[in-house]
Structure 1
Amino acid sequence: MSTGILNAIWQKILYGNDIIRYISPDLDSDFAVAPTLFAGAHVILSIALQFISIHFLWHGLQEKNVKKILISGATALFLTLFHPYFIPLIGLIALITTAYPNFKELKKRLKLFLLFNLFLIPSSTYYLFLMRDSAFKTHHLQINQLPLAHPIFWIITLLPFIIAIIWMKLKKTQIINQNNYWAFVWLIAATICMLLPFPWTRKYTQALLPVLIITTLPFWLHFADTLLKQSKNFLKPLLLLGCFLPFLYLFQITLTIINHPKWKYMIYHPNTMIQAWDYIQSNSPSNSLILTDSLWTNIWLPAYTNRHVWVGHPHETPEYDQKINQFQEWLLTQDNNQFNSYLNVSKINYLITQDSFSEQAETLLDNHWHKAWQIDSTIIWQNTN
């Protein structure tokens, strides 16, 4: 998280008072360790499966051990059924490992290589089958637009490892050895995948933080020994400071976010909107389609009402780009026909409006819309057509 703070300072200088840019990149990068701690079991399990699969794959092919190949294959199957973007990465690692250290070994390991790839067939077939559906393909590619961050971000983030490699070079410490060959193969394969035209490039940085620690382990062991040799009076305050500063930074960021008007608008809703959601949940059919006059209200609505929303979170809205453009045009229109046509074509059952938009809706809505509920300027309109 220390490099995250450096990145945040750089972003502050670059973007000024744009609050969205204040958040430390450690919190939203697939590379960093913070998502592993905060994202819960899903990310931890995903990283664990990567390590088990790749580590056993390397040793299984190098040692020609069928049991290890089976363990690796079963783990890779489980991982890629949920994360198909790792299929190219693991497949490339298998190919490099099979051919290492020279192509003479390729024939000897070919059967094991083919055995392992059998485990990738189910997830590959299932994924390709899903991609035949144009709606799924568009939605899947849309939510997985995960490019790499700005180069300066990576220079700052990788700074500890750059220092580690320089130290190892100066000390003439062997960087590549038999204990970390597999980690270097992983780094090479991940780099190749990042250079390929995949939309989810950033996903290939997942779990690379511990991989880089493994490849530069002598430096970190030396660093730990150096700290232990220092007097306890010096070491304890240093460790406390190192632990305290990142969380002080996170506390400050959290405090800033909850008091910033832009973020308050995104996260918090007036009591009248909460009451409107309660009404929808209690009085509308479970298959009702809802729309409000705010994208952020739309995003929160399904969780509060257990009802469908026409356009909400990008990850949960098929054809999001098209729908959000239409939604924004609808918000701005003053044309009666265009206003009602959008609601009719979208088959909206309930419309929730607030403040000045309630006045606009009252003027533009057709007769088959009537007020089902109202408190102050928050109104629920029901389609009786």
Structure 2
Amino acid sequence: MFKKASEPFGSGISIFQMIWLVYMAAPIYSMLQKPVPEMWIGFPLLILFVALNIASYRDVPRRLLYVLLMYGIVVYLCFRYDITFWFMGFYAAPIIGLLPSRKQFYSGMAVMLLLFVFVFGSHTHHFTGSDLVLMIPSSALMIGLPFILRAGVRSRELKAKLHSANEEIARLVQIEERQRISRDLHDTLGHTLSLITLKSELAEKLVLKQPERAVQEVRDIQMTARAALKQVRELVSGMNAVTLAEEIQHAERILAAANMELTVEGDASQIKASPVIQNILGMCLREAVTNVVKHSKATGCGIVVQEDRSEITVTVRDNGVGLQVAAVAASPSGHGLVGMKERLDLIDGRLELQSEPGKGTQVTLSVPNIVKNQQAGDNKR
């Protein structure tokens, strides 16, 4: 990750650095003042120094080696000619800040400081007061430059990681939203289409025997289809909030269309849970009732709503054919149980399934009664 973040940064700096190479005119001018034999030694070293400087921005794996070679050339020029060649160290200092690992960075800094001590210690007797005024601030800047460059690279790296993390979060949010829409479409439209199917079958049976009632059933189908269209629009717009009491009313209609008797215990309208909890319980209740109609072959269904200080419980039971719990749990579809569990997990709820072949099925939905707990806490205060 660091390498990917630092390489573009390094490539950009190399072009910028090439502009600053015009300041190599100073050591070149100094070299021109030397005797010709000295020039034959000095100029190839200056050319090699420039080549190493440019290559260090391109070749990341050998960057530390280039730094060491550049500082070696600087030290040699300082000892062979004069201390003013030390300012060429400014070209190597930024590259230390671009070294890809912390170990290499501190190795480069250690080499720089050792060369400082070695070169300056050997030339102390040549320094005047004006030389110190110029050399000390410049040396301090040369030492600080790698830290500044490294902080810039680290900042770019962290920004790249943050950008990558934000992209991953956005991707996960999209996946979760798709799953939510898939569950909502399954729960909402599955319920509505089941109702339309039952009513259309009933209308078909009544069309010859009781035409007037068949016409009423067809009208109910039209109303249900319009309601389905509205539900789809609400799902798309994210406004598909339902309450537990409303879902019990829907359950009455679909069970009546399936010729199943419904008994309700408890008053769902008195449940004071938050809209989120109401919505999740309502959608889970819808799925449970749809399962009763589709799979149970029951003649009766009961819904029990209970609330105490700790939790809200909704129980759906039927007197149908029952099922093998282990087989349903292992099934990929699981009669919609997977979606119900995922919904309940969002609010720390739980789902319990009890059934035996020939003895009906009972589904229990339980969620923490957060509203009641908050009220109790307020009373204690």
TM-score (norm 1): 0.24
Q: Computing the radius of gyration over CA atoms, which structure comes out larger, 1 or 2? A: 2
Structure with larger RCO (C-alpha < 8 A, sep 6+) = 1
TM-score (norm 2): 0.25
